[in-house]
Amino acid sequence: MADTPRSQTKLSTSVGKDSISRRGLSTSENAATPVTPPARYISSSFSTPGSTYGKEEDAVIIELSQRCLKAGIEGESHPQCRYDFKPTNAKRLGDYRQWLPSYTKPRESLDGWGEGYALWENDLKDFDLGLLGDKLERAVQEVYNKHLLVDAGNARLVLVVPSLLPHPVLCTILQTLFERWAYASITLLPTPATVVVSAGLRSGLVVDIGWEETVVTVVYEYREVRSQRSTRAMKLLTKNFAAWAKTMLSPDHRFDLETVESFLKRVGMRVLRDVNEGTTTQADGQLQVEWPTATFTQPVVFSKREIGENITQTLLGEESETPPDDEETPLHQLIYNALLLLPADTRGICIARILFSGEGLENTGLLAVILKAFSDLLERRGWTEVQGQKLRKKREGLSELAQLRTQPADARHDNIILSDKTIPEERYLREKAKHVQPTAQGTVRQVDSLGSWAGASLLTTLKVKSFVEIQRDRFLSNGLTGASRDFDTSVVPQQQGSTLGMRPKAGERTSWTLSGWG
């Protein structure tokens, strides 16, 4: 018999080892071999890890505002990406002119200030809704392809939009998303309510300092009670500051929106913070900063007092006896008017839970100035709609009574003497009430919030069903006109539907509503 070749012996030995490993028998050589583990589901930071079998895909949350889009997956504490709407986003593929040494930005006039930097405008008279749909489609497509890295349309979509969004804008947004991607349904969540949820509260006063307007919304038990708005916002602030800076600088300096916004974030709000804290000793201190020109960056000198006056006069107005127009109400007066029209118990809860959001949230010095102006106005006028000199004596007489009412109930009724006949349960409850910390109420206080996107992520993770859940087929067939509640409570239609086999299931809605957007 011929000898077996060595190569054939090695091959048979390896095959034998492979068969042993397939049978599940462990050997020392097989145990030392590294094995790549199978793919497993990586859960988010707030979800419980588990098997992917039968698990619903995490919803995609998109927050829309006039200036930017924020997107991410449910369960996270912050969005994964932010897409800012700019005129340069509409450039063609391969257009690299902005990186050439000889490139200069086009000059922006004050008449069309901020044009191209917003997704929509409040004045829809000459606004192109088709352009809105194109911008939104490009933004969502870039977010999915570059950041989220998931298939658009497979997962559920949660859309966080302002509660005062115009119907034509809302209809265009929904139509673009439904026609471009195969979303089965879209859930709408209001921005003020999600801001309150992300702060861990049930009620609060949300001051949204946006691009074109500032909206003050009273949220009580997760419901929007009242809202008022003013045109004093970031667009008016940057426009007035650019007009003032043009009178101080030479025409060679750049006065575009991005330059003015960068200056206000770096310098303007720092000056406001110093003025509010009282650290500015000189009445007209000088501040040397850098301001870009058409070719290079040139240092310029500004007055701290003039910078602070320009910002405060734009947002807070000037002290005058003539009241301003309703659409030009100063921000501290806007907060005061919103709280003045509330009942006493709701007002006491909301005044101690003031939350800020929007574009002006990045400017911490601005928030402190607004709260200080509101506190001074409240101390000067009190909670009465009637103003005059004859009411001063009456207010002074009732000041002691007002201070007594602001004290907790335990402090006012602490002189109750417990007799020997008091039952043990009552004695226990009264003793326990002395150590209960009272809730903050009746004092001006600011509460920090994680933002509307984080609140929507928390609500989506908890599987809280929204009032507005728009089905794809129903919207494409009827549009916003199909948003109506089913008020028919008679028995006859229910019996007819059951006989035809069309009776809705338990928990299924026969029609949808716009809720707060209606």
How far is 245 from 503, CA to CA, in rounded Å?
67
pLDDT of residue 293: 83
DSSP single-letter state for residue 253: B
How far is 433 from 412, CA to CA, in rounded Å?
13
What's the predicted TM-score (pTM) here?
0.76
Q: Which residue carries 């000088």 as its tokens?
A: 286
Q: Which domains does the chain have, with CATH numbers?
A: 56-199+453-481+507-518 (3.30.420.40), 234-381 (no CATH)
DSSP per residue, 143-211: HIIIII-S-TTTS-EEEEE-TT--HHHHHHHHHHHHHHS--SEEEEEEHHHHHHHHTT-S-EEEEEE-S
**Whose CA is closest to 464, among 221, 158, 220, 162?**
158
**Whose CA is closest to 291, among 256, 263, 258, 257?**
263
Compute the C-alpha angle 222/224/229, nearest 5°: 140
User: Tell me, what amino acid is at 108?
Assistant: E
Question: What is the helix, strand, coil percentage profile of the chain, to 5?
Answer: 45, 15, 40
pLDDT of residue 420: 56
Instruction: Using DSSP, state whether 482 is helix, strand or coil.
Output: helix
pLDDT digits (tens, 9 = 90+) for 434-480: 666 666 777 899 999 999 999 999 999 998 888 888 989 989 888 88
3-state SS track over 22-49: HCCCCCHHHHHCCCCCCCCCCCCCCCCC
**Whose CA is closest to 38, among 18, 24, 22, 52?**
52
Q: In the structure encoding, which two tokens stand for residue 456, read together? A: 């929507």
Residues in the chain where the model's pLDDT stays below 50? 1-32, 35-54, 280-283, 409-415, 486-508
